[in-house]
Amino acid sequence: MYYIERYAILYNDFNGGVIMSQLNDFGTRLKKLRTGKGLTQRQLADLMYISNSTIANWETGTRMPDINMLTRLARCLNVDIYTLIDNTTYRGSSEAFRIIIVEDVPVVLRGSIRMLEDEVPRAEIAGFDNGRDAIDYAKNNKVSVAFLDIELPGENGMELGRTLTAINHKTNIIYLTSHTEYLEEAAYDHCSGYIIKPLTRERIHHELGNLRYPVGGFNI
């Protein structure tokens, strides 16, 4: 759509860094829209499959959503993008510790996000129910860790992992599955980790504490 294309141009052409007044304006506007819909930060986070702290960071002006998250945010609030950005120009933070999780079962996805949020409260966490959206997000954001369900409807989580590492070779890929049959292939791909479901806080803690490519400045 036109407004998405225009926002993409603004987002990509701006090279002057984040302007604080614009950050604050966006945060104020978002909070007003959210509360006007009768939503708590947690409820909006659950609708978007992201962490509660990500919403809080947006509303306080600490961080900005990229175009993919902005589109998702507008959809969840039932507004267009310009209602959120009001023609301002900004770009998201490139230094955040970003974790994504791809899982096609909504209740499992929400539960996994909450566990990750408890384990790494400073991270930006985004959930996806398909690989295509995860790839689009990774193209615009530096992803530190990706938890990927191997058995996705019509998709192969292993191929998704290879695509994500082609985008950023230092993305730590952690595969999630109910079976051990993929273990050899995952090891061949030099993934960071392999978790037999269900995902638990203990397994999350172990994998994040033993990343193939440690993330500087964040202690797990």
- Residues with Cβ within 8 Å of residue 78, at least 6 apart in sequence: 37
Check residue 179 and give its pLDDT.
82
Q: Report the distance separating Cα 136 and Cα 70, nearest Å.
A: 13
Check residue 41 and give its pLDDT.
97
Q: Where a domain ends, among 32, 52, 85? A: 85
Check residue 7 and give its pLDDT.
41
Residues 126 and 175 in one domain: yes
- What residues form DSSP beta bridges with 172? 145
Check residue 2 and give its pLDDT.
33
Residues 199 and 113 in one domain: yes
- The residues of the chain scoring below 50 in pLDDT are 1-19, 87-92
Q: Where residue 71 sits, what CATH number does that domain have?
A: 1.10.260.40
Evaluate whether residue 215 is within a structural domain.
no
Q: Report the distance separating Cα 176 and Cα 162, nearest Å.
A: 15
Residues 55 and 129 in one domain: no
Evaluate whether residue 168 is within a structural domain.
yes
Domain region containing 36: 2-85
Please state, in angstroms and as integers, the Cα–Cα distance from residue 76 to each residue in 24, 119, 158, following that order. Answer: 21, 26, 30
Q: Report the distance separating Cα 113 and Cα 55, nearest Å.
A: 13
Report pLDDT digits (tens) over 193-208: 999 999 999 999 999 9
Number of domains in the chain: 2
Query: Please, what sign has the CA dihedral across residues 121, 53, 42, 207?
Result: negative
Give the number of C-alpha atoms closer than 13 A to the C-alpha of residue 152, restricted to the C-beta side.
25
Residues 112 and 182 in one domain: yes
Q: What percent helix, strand, coil does the chain show, rounded to 5?
A: 50, 15, 35
Contact 140, 120 (CB under 8 A): no
CA angle (192, 198, 200) in 5-degree steps: 70
Evaluate whether residue 183 is within a structural domain.
yes
Evaluate whether residue 219 is within a structural domain.
no
